[in-house]
Structure 1
Amino acid sequence: MPAIAGIMPVMILVTGGTGFVGRALLRQLAHTGQPVRTLIRPSSQTPALPRGVAVEVAISALNDERSLRAALQGVDTIYHLAGAEFEGIRGNILETDARGTATLVRAAKDARVQRFFYVSHLGADRSSYFPVLKVKGVAEEYIRKSGMDFTIFRSGLLYGPEDHFTTAFARLGSLYPALFLPGNGEVTFQPLWVEDLITCLLWSLDNADTSRQTFEVGGAEYFTIRQALMLIMAVIGRNPTLIPLGLPYLRAATVSAQTLIPNFPFSTYWVDYFGANRVCATDTISRIFGFIPARFTYRLEHLKAIDWEKEARANLFKRKT
């Protein structure tokens, strides 16, 4: 049965299922009883799948078209979440996000996949000055031109338990007396609770109005990075000095930190992200999906009751085997 909007899919494939968003999506898909398979790239490490979730697994790199064809057998719906932006100097965004998406799109077309969801970023544009946003824009074009029934979500910065933003700053803020601010710290962004994005992704399966659409989605509030960091530090009971630093210097410092600290929680993607305002209309989610997204101010419970200094020392300097 083709996965037309509003019809129950036969099998859903999730790429990036071991990532922050992917784990949240797999949990919800399993909870709703959807048939789901996740794509995991070949690795010697144990995949970080969500605990207690029974999910079918297919092993394939995104640029291995032959293995992708096998992974796509019986699949009619794809949630494409895989990306390399958080891997920093160890990742290759061109190979993963652009070429990998192009290969996945070709394999999906040959497998007659009917529904293709993609999570991109606010500001994605193939003409962007920032590498990650440029590559995301290229990936979007591959999907739009595929002929498949697509839905693209350009998301605001996502947060929640085990995220790449609030928990990362909590770790660094617990260890160091000062933190660098991108630029003057006044760039505005729109944090979105990850479960709100997951709700949009799931509800889109049953909403024909999302077909062949690109949605820009963000949270209910605008913040400067300075304001957001002050909120995070208040929750964890720390008060580090916030030092403005020009983006070229911050980029160099980030690359150096990634070289010296095995699990440094930030990549140069963050430098790009906070190089300009990243906002959209605050009513998109309520208008299209009928609910009001969570407020960042009141959704930081996941940072409480954790010894962040102990957690940081246990994880930041631990080398992967």
Structure 2
Amino acid sequence: MKIAITGGTGFVGRHLAERYDPSQVVVVSRRTGVDIDDVDGLATAFAGCDVVAHCAGINRQIGAQTYQKVHIDGTRAVVEAARRAGVKRILMLSFLRARRDCGSPYHESKWAAEELVRRSGLDYTILKAGMIYGHGDHLVDHVSRSVQTVPLFATVGFHEKPIRPIPITEMVDVLVAAATGELPYSTVAVVGGEELMLSEVVHRIAGIVDRRVLVVPAPVWTIRVLAQITEWTMKVPLIAKAQARMLTEGVSEAAPPTDELPESLRPRLPFTAAQIEAALPERGGFGFSDLRIAH
């Protein structure tokens, strides 16, 4: 089986590509010279592939890289290119709580992309995933670096909502199974094996990097302001506005409700020290090199 992976140099796409023989993988990204909304370029890249894993996505908008361009126009182009190239199956990585008319451009654009895939006429699997963590992620990476920068961490809102973190290894297991046709014509939720609060996540990570941290609740509006500031100033924001919205709602149940994975494919690993260690970046906090002005 030959597979094309959009967003193939990103977090999930990179880990998925590593599961296959390099000769059977086509990595598609801006770094490989193909824009996500370039139908002709995508069709050329998809030629000879049996499956497309559509993992391309953004969590903040910068310049021309908007949710409309990447999530909606990009998905429309991927579907059309897959048809032209004779690809039989398309997988889409979406977000657990992507839905219409919720006031979040991120959530709404992901939902619109899901609808394009569902109506494509191709065999499809849409994976509505919660928070995924692993080496190169935004969860363990950012929390560990944050607590090594300042011994204070603010959660989103005075009443925390639960999350169910998914190890990247188990997320890739689900993607590989879907690529082989185990979940035809379906939209399914993917969540991790342990439900916990962000404050618990922070304390576990802080313990692994030998830092003591004070975790305090903060009003939602202050986190939204922080998210906007870090989107403006940081190369990879400490927290994006879309991520702030996710934490406000919680990331443990699909919205709207959808099918669950078969028992044999459900992630089971808890958020343990071993899983955290595997995801940690090099030790150290945030610095000048993390600012957009430095680049």
Common fold by TM > 0.5: yes
Alignment pair present for 1:308 and 2:281 = no
Pairs aligned (count): 289
Structure 1 partner of 2:186: 213
1:12 maps to a residue whose letter is I
Q: 1:173–1:238: 8 Å Cα contact kept in structure 2?
A: yes
Q: 2:155–2:215: 8 Å Cα contact kept in structure 1?
A: yes
Report the CA distance shift for 1:288/1:280 in structure 2 as closer, same or farther (over 3 A).
farther
Give the deviation of 1:37 after TM superposition: 0.4
> What secondary structure, in the 3-state scheme, does the structure 1 residue paired with 2:160 have?
coil
Structure-1 separation of matches of 2:20 and 2:70: 24
Structure 1 partner of 2:80: 106
Report the CA distance shift for 1:122/1:27 in structure 2 as closer, same or farther (over 3 A).
same
> What secondary structure, in the 3-state scheme, does the structure 2 residue paired with 1:222 have?
coil
Report the CA distance shift for 1:279/1:170 in structure 2 as closer, same or farther (over 3 A).
same
1:84 to 55, 58, 61: 58
Give the deviation of 1:105 after TM superposition: 1.0
Equivalent residues in 2 for 1:147-166, closer than 5 Å: 147-166=121-140
Equivalent residues in 2 for 1:222-233, closer than 5 Å: 222-233=195-206
Residue identity (%): 24
> What secondary structure, in the 3-state scheme, does the structure 2 residue paired with 1:150 have?
strand
Structure-2 separation of matches of 1:305 and 1:17: 20
Alignment pair present for 1:139 and 2:130 = no
Q: 2:194–2:268: 8 Å Cα contact kept in structure 1?
A: no
Structure 1 partner of 2:269: 294
User: Where does the alignment leave 5 or more consecutive residues of structure 2 unmatched?
Assistant: none
User: Where does the alignment leave 5 or more consecutive residues of structure 1 unmatched?
Assistant: 1-8, 42-46, 48-57
Structure 1 partner of 2:25: 36
Q: 1:158–1:192: 8 Å Cα contact kept in structure 2?
A: yes
So what's the TM-score if we normalise by structure 1? Answer: 0.82
Structure 2 partner of 1:96: 70
Structure 2 partner of 1:6: none
Q: 1:156–1:278: 8 Å Cα contact kept in structure 2?
A: yes
Structure-1 separation of matches of 2:279 and 2:166: 16
1:157-213 Cα offsets, whole Å, 9 max, x none, are 0011111111111111111132221112511111000110101111223344x1001
2:272 maps to a residue whose letter is T
Give the deviation of 1:233 after TM superposition: 1.3
Give the deviation of 1:242 after TM superposition: 2.2
Over aligned residues, Cα RMSD in angstroms? 2.4
1:121-167 Cα offsets, whole Å, 9 max, x none, are 11111233322111111100000000000011111100111111111
Equivalent residues in 2 for 1:248-259, closer than 5 Å: 248-259=221-232
Give the deviation of 1:315 after TM superposition: 4.4
So what's the TM-score if we normalise by structure 2? Answer: 0.89
Shifted more, 130-139 versus 248-257: the winner is 248-257
